Structure 1
């Protein structure tokens, strides 16, 4: 209801260029939630091309505040540190209608000192939405105020039900309403309190006795730790097991503005000794369960953009966690002075540090420090003091720093269990690392300057995770097989770049029976041990790659005349064919002997040089070989002429095939169908991507009449397949939601897809002429398809977006040159006239065509029929915005300047 009332008020045009709105209410009452719903509302995103969210609880400096807005608006800040220059950039960045949200604003000073003069009299209209606990802040900014009050009992009960059971089993929950209402009343109408209590109830099941135990919990009457934190939040914390309590408190060691990476988090929990092994599970598996439970209890919130990241759900929860762990942890920003008497912290988090770690707190005094994590400190280089003093460290995170040399004294940190150097500038790892006998995680991912590992790495017998992907290593020393506790091995390089015996071989993997994740590179350098994968019963993620093929410098080729090129190619064919055949046979032999286990869920095959795919990924028994495979990526298998029968993979949900340069046709062999088989090909496939298949000409999905093909496919992407002549006819039976076709330069038409529903995106298809019979399609995006002549049969179309690149001066329709600077082509005119349900039209084009859409222009009679229109020039400087129902007509394209 609040969203329904506020959004229309914010959209209504007033006398001011920039109107301020405020959501005012007590802490934890739902101000941020309401602001987020408004921010994400389709009506707001449609009317405000620029939307920026700023979390004011982060105590940003004036300069950082301005930079945040400028970057959020999509502009470049550069290197300036001058406030006046940033204010100029701010005005330039907000060049279109904008929505700026300032969440948790405590003072009007930002408005008075920075925004009032810069935006108040701006040319472009905008809205500023603030959330605040202090009504005086809103009043001083002359904001239109919306108060958020506590939820009434029925609304609170409805929220509780929704959080406990998203599917709302109303009959079952109705029997719990009397006790549920009492619990909701104890939450005092606070949405946050209701959500965390719902997390407890969800873990107890829909049992009235269990709910009454929560209602009568003694923690409700305990003295509050922080007066601003609802008691229900503390009740939720008390209900956690001792391990979950420590896991939750550990999350508060991260700076508030940084997302928490799941992979690193669970391994830090293990390094701290928080996680207990249970039911013969790996520690990592138990830790994953802790992670899932904290999310289920609404204490951690997954990042909507990535399942691999999360945040503490609310700043009140973070405040509680910081208060509970205050006796043993410190978080410092830059040269911030400490306001604490804590002399011997166990956990230290440093953010935005300069080149040295020894600043606001002397590391020489921190003998009992157990964890040290650095964030946003790319200039830190000196870490010698750390190695000399912090001998009790268990967790050390120096990722994304400028540290180049790891001192030999690192061997003194014998208690260290977690060492993260991801993205650091480390050039060498000292052999003294072998003294870290308790080390469980060593992550060197993205250390591009790292060129060698010491042999002593094989002495790290407790190592459970080794990440080497993205380094400049040419080999990994032999002896990895001694690390029998490894369950995650990423970026293992096989062999040596000059065939020296020091490099590890596949034989080193035979003893690693606990592996869950294995990433192997330079597989073509293997000389033995191809059967090493046979005893990996728990392996789920497998990445297999040979060395990437060498690519001759294009400039060198262009400098040679044709005769030289022909002579060189002839010599290569005669002299290199034998070597190529030998290399191909050797590659096929190694791969054929690998035999991955049936436990595999994710498989990546990259740079395979064989002509035929390995025997274990083809043939009629493929489904039996990989009964659990969910994700498959075939990349750079450039010599294979036929694709395997991947349709036999019964659990496959995502398939990506790229750079299969030798595949000319995809037929029934891809589906795995036979006359004797009635099985459904690809029964669970949801996403299919075909990319950069240079020779692909034909693709068919022909099956028997009684068979169904691709019953679950939702998204199909075909990109850079320049010889593909037509889409498979069988697609007409597939209930696609999204179809993306790009760079298909032989495709002349897209037709007869009666079940395609959500979106068709067409880009850079040079000979595409016809689009027809897509009766359920709601959104059509066309970008640079200059030969298009006919678009019809789109009866359900609601959204149309067209992009005409600046390089396109004229387009050809029915053998006539029609200048876009004058009029729309006939197909577009007919489409607009016939699609009565078209609600939104977007166009990016040249300035002349843009002006032809204005009132009085040649295309105005078409444009004015559409409820909402947005047109922008190719350079982004001129625009036209029209909303029929709300009588909005805005443009800056009339001027010749």
Structure 2
């Protein structure tokens, strides 16, 4: 019914694979309505004789068909440096911080996911080939050029070696700026060259940027999104002035030298997203962080932080908490303070070998968190890389770790479960055949690593109705997988 129109649209793409993919994505959104397909075929843009080189016909048509809110998200995505690594959660967090997604606070992330998928279906952004569960996406150079040309009055992406763009920083004022410097430190961009952009709402820096004493963030009072993934040794000088950014919503820092956030960060009442993941020298989380009542996401995976300030339970808006280090003594809070955090969607607990059964992991009340979909449970591994056991854990320690995991029973809403370093002889009670379908009935992905002493997998694992992916790495005590693994 639509073949004749489809062939005519393909003919207008002049044999360009990208144009065919983008038009396919556009027509897919139109459904099977002949009238809508004919409108795309007969659009006047195909006959435009003088279009700038950056405005690809197919991309232009797909872009113009987007709702205004998704247009903004698309244009900001084009600013992300190709040398950076940004997950779906990162990108949607930026869109929310910029106010591009409108709705109730409970619906914003779900709307962001819909916008994200819409851009994929239109082939305006494309999944990479290295990641499956949380793809890092690519944007074709032609699409990126189109987006940056369309946003040229408000946004610019500067790369090392492109002096034309760098000169724009003194000749024009922008709202959104992305800087990527792949050159050596001595040739990197000076922070002072950015300071004329006082109206910035978004600042993204990746690579080598030279920071000197006296440099600060006070020149960017309007910032909502700040991403500093840079190698400079003086990033701490900038961090000291963070509290000056009264409107900041999104903060992401990756740097090998930063060790903490300033204590006065608690004054930044609008902060929603904080990520210091990968900051290997980061050791301390400011106590005042418990004052950030609007905080949605907190990520400190890959740091050396070993505790969370007491009073953490006050952050009742938290949706994503990654890298929570479990402690039971001193001035740090325990698993119990996770109990009131009923909005959690994504939770990563590390150092669970430090938890004692007497502290009752059940007080974390995971089973009551109806929105929890992703759960990561991590203990320090007792295996060497070759799979040999480092130290023989005593019977009491093995019994204790099982009791801790027993108390961390997830809710039925769980979609993704990862367990790493578990050294109990039996898997947690909620993974036994009698409870498996009630506790994990919605599970789609199960990933387990370093199951040092487990000798048997629970019966009926493969009978979970929605399970799509199961991966088990380094389980040296499991010698046989029999039919009981398949049959309940």
CA apart distance, 1:287: 1.4
1:374 corresponds to which of 189, 202, 205: 205
SS at match of 1:244: helix
Alignment map for 1:744-823 (pairs within 5 Å): none
Q: Which moved more, 1:252-261 or 1:206-215?
A: 252-261
Aligned partner of 2:107 in structure 1 is: 282
CA 1:461–1:382 in structure 2 vs 1: closer, same or farther (change >3 Å)? farther
- 1:672 Cα offset (Å): 4.1
The residue that corresponds to 2:66 in the other structure is 240
1:231 alignment counterpart: 57
Shift of 1:470: 0.9
Q: Secondary structure at the match of 2:179?
A: strand
* 1:508 is the counterpart of 2:362: no
Q: Using the TM superposition, give the Cα deviation of residue 359 of structure 1 relative to its aligned residue in structure 2, in angstroms.
A: 3.2
Q: CA deviation at 1:204?
A: 1.0
Shift of 1:361: 6.4
CA displacement at 1:535 relative to structure 2? 1.6
Aligned to 2:441: 627
CA distance in 2, matches of 1:671, 1:665: 13
Relative to structure 1, is the Cα distance of residues 206 and 534 closer, same or farther in structure 2, using a 3 angstrom cutoff?
A: same
Residue 473 (structure 2) aligned to one of 658, 663, 673: 658
| Residue number in structure 2 paired with 1:594 | 408
Equivalent residue number for residue 374 of structure 2: 541
- The reply to whether residue 462 of structure 1 matches residue 294 of structure 2 is yes
- Indicate which of 193, 209, 214 corresponds to 1:362: 193
Offset at residue 491 of structure 1 (A): 0.8
SS in 1 for 2:23: helix
Q: Provide closer, same or farther for how the CA distance between residues 424 and 273 of structure 1 changes in structure 2, counting only shifts above 3 A.
A: farther
- Contact kept, 8 Å, 1:186 with 1:232, in 2: the verdict is no
The secondary structure found in structure 2 opposite 1:385 is: coil
Matches within 5 A, 1:264-279: 264-277=90-103
**Whole-Å separation in 1 of the counterparts to 2:26 and 2:479:** 57
CA distance in structure 2 between the aligned counterparts of 1:669 and 1:246, rounded to whole angstroms: 52
- The aligned residue for residue 129 of structure 2 is 304
**Normalized per residue, which structure has more strand?**
1
Which residue matches 2:159?
333
CA distance in 2, matches of 1:371, 1:356: 24
SS, match of residue 642 in structure 1 = coil
Give the aligned partner of residue 295 of structure 1: 120
How many pairs are equivalent?
469
SS at match of 1:365: coil
| Pairing 1:861-876 to 2, within 5 Å after superposition | none
The 1:360–1:225 alpha-carbon spacing in structure 2 relative to 1, beyond 3 Å, is farther
Query: Are residues 1:409 and 2:224 paired?
Result: no
- Conserved 8 A contact 2:55-2:146: yes
Change in 2 beyond 3 A, CA 1:606/1:218: same
Match of 1:640 among 432, 446, 454: 454
Q: CA deviation at 1:395?
A: 1.2
Structure 1 position 429, deviation (Å) = 1.5
Alignment partner, residue 525 of structure 1: 354
Query: Which of 378, 384, 387 is the equivalent residue of 2:217?
Result: 387
Matched residue, 1:716: none
Mapped contact 1:226–1:320 kept (Cα < 8 A): no
Aligned to 2:320: 488
Task: Say if 1:327 and 1:342, in contact at 8 Å, map to a contact too.
Answer: no
Aligned partners of 1:261, 1:438: CA distance in 2, in Å?
22
Deviations 1:569-596 (A, max 9, x none): 9xxx9xxx9xx44433332322222221
What are the Cα deviations for residues 184-241 of structure 1, in whole angstroms up to 9, with x where unaligned? Answer: 4554555443432332211010111221232344555667551464433322211111
User: Which residue of 2 is the match for residue 775 of structure 1?
Assistant: none
Residue 488 of structure 1 contacts residue 517 of structure 1 at CA under 8 Å; is this kept in 2?
yes
Equivalence for 1:612: 426
1:588 is paired with a residue of what secondary structure?
helix
Query: Residues of 1 paired with 2:128 and 2:199: CA distance?
Result: 34
Aligned twin of 1:444: 276
3-state DSSP of counterpart to 1:419 = strand
Paired residues of 2:432 and 2:458 also in contact (CA < 8 A):
yes
Say which of 261, 264, 272 aligns to 1:432: 264
Distance 1:644 1:235 in 2: 53
Change (3 A) 1:380 1:228: closer
8 Å Cα contact 1:187-1:230 kept in structure 2: no
The match for 1:214 among 27, 35, 40 is: 40
TM-score (norm 1): 0.49
Gaps of 5+ in 1: 1-174, 552-556, 558-568, 674-897
2:189 and 2:210 in contact (8 A); partners too: no
1:629 to partner: Cα distance: 1.5
Q: State whether residues 229 and 252 of structure 2, in contact with CA within 8 Å, keep that contact through their aligned partners in structure 1.
A: yes
Cα deviation, residue 357, structure 1: 8.2
Rg larger in structure? 1
What CA distance in whole angstroms lies between the structure 1 residues aligned with 2:186 and 2:292?
A: 30
On the 8 A contact 1:647/1:671 being kept in 2, the answer is yes
Contact 2:290–2:312 (CA<8 Å) still a contact in 1?
A: yes
- Offset of residue 284 of structure 1: 2.1
CA drift at 1:259? 6.8
Separation of aligned partners in 2, 1:225 and 1:456:
54
Change (3 A) 1:361 1:547: closer
Deviation at 1:550, TM superposition (A): 9.4
Aligned equivalents of 2:290, 2:11: Cα separation in 1: 59
Superposed CA offset, 1:285-307 (max 9, x none): 22121111112112112222334
- Distance in 2 of aligned mates of 1:470 and 1:603: 19
Unaligned runs of 5+ in 2: 385-389
Partner of 2:89: 263
1:205 maps to which residue? 31
Shift of 1:642: 2.8
Match for residue 476 of structure 1? 308
SS of corresponding position for 2:368: coil
Task: State the 1:475 CA deviation.
Answer: 1.2
CA contact (8 A) 1:493 1:504 kept: no
SS at match of 1:286: helix
Alpha-carbon distance between aligned partners in 2 of 1:265 and 1:508, rounded to the nearest angstrom: 29
Going from structure 1 to structure 2, the CA distance change for 1:231 and 1:384 (only over 3 Å counts) comes to same
1:478, 1:465 → 2: CA distance?
Answer: 18
- 1:468–1:491: 8 Å Cα contact kept in structure 2? yes
Check 1:632–1:231 CA distance in 2 against 1; reply closer, same or farther (3 A cut). closer
Give the match's secondary structure for 1:399.
strand
Structure 1, 441-450 or 181-190: larger mean CA deviation: 181-190
Pairwise CA distance, 1:630: 2.1
Contact preservation (8 Å) 1:196, 1:236: yes
